[in-house]
Chains A and B, each alone.
Chain A
Amino acid sequence: MISKGKTDQVTINLDGKEVEVPAGMNLVDAVALHGKEIPHYCYHPQLSVAGNCRMCLIEMGTPMRDRGTGESILDEDGSPKIGWVPKPVIGCATNVSPGMHVKTESEMVTGCREGIMEFLLVNHPLDCPICDQAGECRLQEFATDYGRGYSRYKERKNVKPKRTRLGPRVTLDDERCILCSRCIRFSQEVAKDDVLGFVDRGSFSTLTCFPGKELANNYSLNTVDICPVGALTSTDFRFKMRVWFLKETLSICPESSAGCNTLVSSREGQIHRITPRRNDAVNDSWMTDSGRALYKLIESDDRLKFPLVDQEKSSLEDALNASLSLLRGKSVGIVGSCKSTVEEQYLLNRLAKEAKAKKYLRGHFGEDDGILLSADRTPNLRGALITGFASSYPTEHLSSLAQALKKNQLETLIVVGEDLIESKVDAELLSGVQIIYLGTHENVTSTLAQVVIPTLTSFEKSGSFVNRGFFLQGFQQAVPGPAGLLPEVSVFSRLINDLNGEGELSSDLNSIWKMMARSSTSPLKGLSVSDFKKDGIQLDGSKWADLPFVEQKALHYEAVAEPKRG
């Protein structure tokens, strides 16, 4: 496991050089900190150590001490004599200690790696041309870097079940499996769903589920990510695209307030898969299966692709002008969204001030699974709190909006991404109101709206979310949205500029942040985009500590208060 405290450092001798590494760290991680690689298969920083692949074998020695006195024994030149362990040791199970000497490049180590590599390939099928893992396969990589380079095996290979269905989303090819047991340890330790195991023994050991059971939990695809070879593959991604054609974009999963760090892989404007990105403070190396499937929403049938005015196809310019005429001089209500980015919520708040509008917000809630699917099914509820769009914890219904409509207090509603009917606002209440709907997909409210301005999914724009731990995390645009559409920040800034006639606001994220960071009381004080572009930043959420957050204790998250549904 990685030790988090940077304060305790220990000096070890790595291939002749003295280097500093955090105390308690294992050699595989320690050596990686200094730009060297110890190849490994079964070791994973967030799983227990198995030590069975034997690929990380290295030479290790510790300073010798006199058995009786405990004094260090010295060499001729006065440096401590090193007792080299005669057999190689595995780096993943060896923790650093002061004065330890490590050799990652030596004849013995080279011999070990060539040997282990050869053994791994002995019963491995020649599947590279049809295997999805090609291009990101650790067997390929380490064979190239550390293997012997030619095969000496001239016997028959073992035959095992191929392309079996391990679960609804995972395909298993037992011949490719190198029996590293990462998937089993993951299922037991992280997903807490003990369904995988090895049957038979020796070289005939085979990974399987109990007959009748499946690897069907909401974290099954993580086993595909951590499988170092092409044994476990994603059925959805099977045969779709060679990985070296994929462009990878850093993103954040919008499924819930867990805020899993993701990698969106796309080619020529089409997303082919989503995989988790490692973040030791938020999601380790995992994400939910349901979160991965969200990219399919881009192409779904009910996607809004062009602006509508009075339910007729229109240009964005016309839609914006129509919206302005519905806003000027009218009593306005704005229904914001917890799924909007921080920048969008900030601008929406400014728009609300500009139009002297009343603000409404609802939450989306579900069951907390205690791992990475939190009870709050929106990625940025806290963004709404921080930007000031909301000051109390939203409920599942827009009852105060329904009240306001009953009393005929509002003439125009800007609705961002919510379906009012679902939020317990009766359709009849909407008959006397003009609706400007901004959203990605069609719903009942959008069919009732006078102006529909389609927006972009989180894959098609850049922005940031604040997760349940008050972590501010940014994401990048992966693919372009439908032609002719602009991101919400452009729409909101355009509306604000036209309403106040000043034309000051720009939709550029940097300038938006300059404005947000100006506030002396906001947790965003002094921040700029580059601060959180790659890694998230912890914000101070103490101001909202008393709010009834619904999230339960989960991975890297301690529940703030007694979970109460508002």
Chain B
Amino acid sequence: MADKRVILDQASVPGFPRGVKFRFNKTKEQWVIMAPERLLEPNEVAVEVLKLCDGAASISTISNSLAEKFQAPVETILSDVTEMLQDLADKGFLIA
């Protein structure tokens, strides 16, 4: 993990650290986050967000795409996305 806790904001560029894989399981037709001896089964909304975490797009860019896709206010999306990704970062599933 990081040397200190990463605090995410809209300029942060989230991605997956070493040992963490966001993958589609073909047999189960399900997206999962795999990490050292841990496994997360993100819900549909989280999957949409995580698909955009490519280590290049910022949280702001990600939120804009989602706001457009789901026809929702970008402020709400930005705050929800940041909160969700912060939680994942705190648990070691994400870096920025």
Specify whether A and B are partners.
no
Point out residues on B near A: beta carbons under 8 Å: none
Interface residues of A (CB under 8 A from B): none
